[in-house]
Amino acid sequence: MKAGILFTGSGPILVLTSYDSFLEKDLVEKIRAKGIKKYIAYEVPVNTVKEKYGSHYDIVMSDLKQEDDLRVMDYDGHHVLDYFSIKTLGTPFYYEE
């Protein structure tokens, strides 16, 4: 499982995915199906997500309505940026149609 912050037109979201890359074709299609046509993604450590989100992480992982290949952990951009410093983010992945 990978975790990543996607900076989109409506703000950052935190996602979990079983794909190896944030640019993998099938993942891009899943993200596009949510109306996101371009984004900048930064991978963040899953352990950090577990630590910061606690039981909410477990709830999201057990949500049968979401698929393992793409789970939205947090769609509140203010909340995401409170938990993660942009100074510590690594190399970005860029996607644009």
Regions of the chain with pLDDT less than 50: none
Check residue 78 and give its pLDDT: 95
d(CA 88, CA 33): 29
CA distance 33 to 66: 14
Tally the domains of the chain: 1
Both tokens of residue 37?
Answer: 């046509």
Per-residue confidence (pLDDT) for residue 95, from 0 to 100: 97
Provide the domain limits for residue 7: 2-96
What is the model's pLDDT at position 64?
A: 58
2: amino acid identity, one letter: K
Contact 95, 23 (CB under 8 A): yes
Q: How far apart are the first and last CA of the chain?
A: 25
